[in-house]
């Protein structure tokens, strides 16, 4: 069942799939402690600004999230800036070795943000987010796409 959020003068459901990529494509999420702390910080930052992260998945150098607005006044840029800024600042302070080895004094995240609104295929997108970092699942999905694209064109 679809759940709506009620504001003082609004009734809404806004969800999006967003993705942040690590600067220079370094595989920092191979470091389990770094990845787990990043997840904690993103969840805390989201709660602080009035956004709920309903799914989160990491690959080696990027993170995918399904976010749900709890305040209608936020733009996706405001959300991204807050999540990226808070998590980067705290992670690089807590993991100075990672900063020294990979980022040479610059920030953690690239300037890029991917965003897509979730519509009727929301559960399929959530499955994709959950499967981040699962190599066997990626192979299975790529095979399914290959066979599907070849059979539909016949």
SS3 133: coil
Instruction: Summarize pLDDT for 76-88 with one digit per residue, the tens.
Output: 999 999 999 999 9
Closest CA to 117 of 58, 75, 63, 59: 75
Domain spans of the chain, in order of start: 5-152
Task: Kindly state the tokens that stand for 8.
Answer: 């003082």
Q: Which fold has domain 5-152?
A: Alpha-Beta Plaits (3.30.70)
- Given this model, what pLDDT does residue 9 score? 85
Helix (H, G, I), strand (E, B) or coil at 67: strand
Q: pLDDT tens, 8-47?
A: 888 888 899 999 999 999 999 999 999 999 999 999 999 9
């Amino acid at each position: 069942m679809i759940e709506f959020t009620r504001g003082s003068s609004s009734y809404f459901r806004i969800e999006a799939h967003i993705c942040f990529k690590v600067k220079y494509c370094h595989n920092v999420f191979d470091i389990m402690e770094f990845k787990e702390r990043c997840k904690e910080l993103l969840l805390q930052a989201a709660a602080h600004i009035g956004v709920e992260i309903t799914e989160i998945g990491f690959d080696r150098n990027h993170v995918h999230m399904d976010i749900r607005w709890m305040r209608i006044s936020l733009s996706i840029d405001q959300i991204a800036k807050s999540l990226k800024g808070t998590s980067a600042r705290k992670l690089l302070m807590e993991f100075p070795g990672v900063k020294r080895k990979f980022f040479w004094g610059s920030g953690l995240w690239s300037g890029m943000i991917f965003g897509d609104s979730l519509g009727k295929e929301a559960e399929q997108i959530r499955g994709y987010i959950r499967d981040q970092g699962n190599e066997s699942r990626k192979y299975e999905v790529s095979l399914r796409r290959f066979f599907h694209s070849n059979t539909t064109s016949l």
